[in-house]
Amino acid sequence: MDKGTPSFDAVIVGAGFSGMYMLKSLRDKLGLKVKVYEAGDTVGGTWYWNRYPGARCDSDSYIYCYTFDKQLLQEWEWSERYPEQDEILRYLEHVAKRHDLKRDIQFNTRVTGGEYDEASNLWQVHTDKGETVTARFLIPAVGTLSYANIPQYKGLEKFRGKWYHTSNFPKEGVDFTAKRVAVVGTGATAVQAIPEIAQQAKQLVVFQRTANYCVPARNGKVDPELVKARKADYDNIVKRIRESFFGQEHYFIPKSALEVSREERERELDKRWDTGGFAFWLANYQDMFFNKEANEVIADYLKRKIRATVKDPKVAEKLIPKGYYYGTKRQPLDTNYFETFNKDNVLLVDAKADGPIEEITEKGIRAGGKEYEVDVIVFATGFDAMTGPLKALNLKGRGGRTLDKEWAEGPHTYLGISVVGFPNLFAITGPQSPSVLSNMPVSIEQHVDWVTDCIDNMRKTGKTIIEATRQAQDQWVAHVNEVVNMTLMTSANSWYMSANIAGKPRAFLPYLGPEGVGGYRKKCDEVAAKGYEGFALS
């Protein structure tokens, strides 16, 4: 029985890409009373927090944007192939203004907890400002890579210099001029930041735990004729990315890498290398993610590129990825990354060859028994991905159950949107949805539209509670794992596999559907068409 009258129809947590569109959709389409809480002092989410040097999107700008506002697609002009952090932030500020979003967003406010009250069937939501509000629906739009992984090294508190995590850089920036700088980590973030920091710093020491396969981004101005053609073709582009595998205009080569001649394979790989961007990763031979030998011939191409770029063979050898299959960790896109290791002021310290980081000292970092003195440490050490930001909300579902406990062996969701025991909670791009394997805005819009339709349907049919059933959730979890177990993805110690965080249960976090983003969309639509199959509505 529904007893209470909530403060809001819906509370949304986060005002990044997903929270902003969720607000727009529920408020302006359905006329709901909505409140958004955002920890930052303005909109932007990921693009508000990640201000490190070189921060930019790895998806092409023409598809890394909202598609719900067709006029904006025509009006907005991106300056380059990949938008830089501050340009995306400007874009999101523009969207907030254009759709008058800020009036329903409370900034500088972090949600610190929430309980589902079974007597009123409402969520009680608490903030760090001491407020408690109630809402029928609770919608975490907290991002997938937003809970920083700050390594708990011995001695960090003793360090006399300054240290930063890349996802929480000072707004005013950091001046590295004449400084001795350490960067810890060599993932997608570090690959963007290292060449930029190396240009400023007196000395840069890079601490590498796992070498990465990198492909050139090839950023630059986009030919105005191509921009015009894309604008004229937006309806089709939107249709294609929605139906695609990765939310991008990339399609596998429908052949095995092993069935073609070496010459043909080199030609195809050269094409992708020269084009730059995700094409090398996501538009390669179709057996790359399944067949070890196919994967190895493609990886060999990238290893040759590293050897040809890095002048010191010993440094090149350290930069050659080992021990995992190409593409099973997130593909970083680079601009002069490997070239940077040819500079005299850059030193690479590899955990395997030189010894791992042992401690932080007053003066710097000790690794492999040697102390490296630095003035600044930049931790580019990534995130407690996908489950981290949701667990950090400290939510309690029916009977006081927590996500910590429910997910003790990895995430358990239905469709990556809903969790048994947490009624009326919708996670936007939650674990076990395509999310991070997609071009995020495509999957964000899909979830927001689906949730909006679901709530609209509930109102029209007089329902107030929706909750995934145990059976549907178990089947979804089994399906997510069954699909990924057919690939090489599970063999890597990647953050996709939760392996970057000590003690995190090993589990694949996103959903790599047999038909990708397009197939997942169809599945969600079928669930809705069958009266929200797999959910209990009352």
Output the DSSP codes for 364-427.
EEEETTEEEE-SEEEE---B--THHHHHTT-EE-GGG-BHHHHTBTB---BTTTB-TT-TTB--
d(CA 295, CA 287): 8
For position 210 contacting ligand NA7 by CB under 6 A, the verdict is: yes
Indicate the residue whose CB is closest to ligand NA7: 187
Other residues' Cβ atoms within 10 Å of the Cβ of residue 270 = 11
β-strand 376-379 against 162-165: which pairing, if any?
parallel
For position 495 contacting ligand NA7 by CB under 6 A, the verdict is: yes
Q: How many residues bind ligand NA7 (CB under 6 A)?
A: 21
Please, which residue, 315 or 458, has the CB nearer to ligand NA7? 315
Distances (CA, A) of 31 to 14, 98, 123, 314, 337: 20, 18, 20, 63, 49
The piece of 134-142, 183-191, 222-230, 386-394 that touches ligand NA7 (CB under 6 A) is 183-191
The piece of 171-179, 182-190, 454-462, 507-515 that touches ligand NA7 (CB under 6 A) is 182-190
CB 115 within 8 A of CB 395: yes
Please, which residue, 281 or 495, has the CB nearer to ligand NA7? 495
Which of 6, 14, 187, 195 touches ligand NA7 (CB under 6 A)?
A: 187
Backbone angles phi and psi of 471, in degrees to 5? -65, -45
For position 255 contacting ligand NA7 by CB under 6 A, the verdict is: no
**Least distance to ligand NA7, CB of residue 185, Å:** 3
CB 294 within 8 A of CB 287: yes
Binding mask 348-387 for ligand NA7 (x = CB under 6 A): ---------x----------------------xxxx----
Helices (H), 80-175: 85-98
**Least distance to ligand NA7, CB of residue 166, Å:** 6
**Least distance to ligand NA7, CB of residue 487, Å:** 18
CB 286 within 8 A of CB 256: yes
Class of residue 165 by CB neighbours under 10 A (exposed 0-12, middle 13-18, buried 19+): buried
**Least distance to ligand NA7, CB of residue 180, Å:** 19
Please, which residue, 281 or 414, has the CB nearer to ligand NA7? 281
Which of 94, 110, 126, 209 touches ligand NA7 (CB under 6 A)?
A: 209
Binding mask 121-150 for ligand NA7 (x = CB under 6 A): ------------------------x---x-
For position 188 contacting ligand NA7 by CB under 6 A, the verdict is: yes
Q: Scanning the structure block, which residue is given the tokens 């579902």?
A: 397
Residue 365 CA from chain centroid, whole number: 29
Select from 301, 290, 383, 306 the least CA-distant residue to 340. 306
For position 6 contacting ligand NA7 by CB under 6 A, the verdict is: no
- List residues binding ligand NA7 (CB under 6 A): 145, 149, 151, 184-190, 209-210, 330, 357, 380-383, 436, 495, 500
